[in-house]
Structure 1
């Protein structure tokens, strides 16, 4: 699977706190994630630098990027 509607938790390995933070913010798919600025995602409690080592390449593989700040 390599689509914008792929569920993040089914594609990348994130910590449980990061998974909960994204879910609580309503971010389930990569399309959802693309509507957020990277700084705002980083500000979610539980999402740290390691999360972005997984999320960034997965976003790029789908031709997506974070919303401009």
Structure 2
């Protein structure tokens, strides 16, 4: 289980995209619109799936 203060392993481009948008931990993504993350350069469908699965482990989700 990924701790809420860390991001799961999603690949360098997606991680850079999240850091560039100011997200450094999984917990910060709760309630963020999926479309907003999908629009980030470097964020692909696989990374979004991994993020959603990691959030679900904590009872959280994207909007």
Q: Same fold (TM over 0.5)?
A: yes
Larger Rg: 1
| Paired residues, number | 63
Structure 1 moving runs of 4+ over 6 Å: none
Q: Which runs of 5+ in 2 are unaligned?
A: none
2: CA distance, partners of 1:40 / 1:7 = 20
Q: Which runs of 5+ in 1 are unaligned?
A: none
3-state SS of the aligned residue for 1:17?
helix
Deviation per residue, 1:1-27 (Å, 9 max, x gap): 555x3311xxx2211110100001011
1:15 aligns with 2:11: yes
1:1-69 maps to which residues of 2 (within 5 A)?
3=3, 5-8=4-7, 12-67=8-63
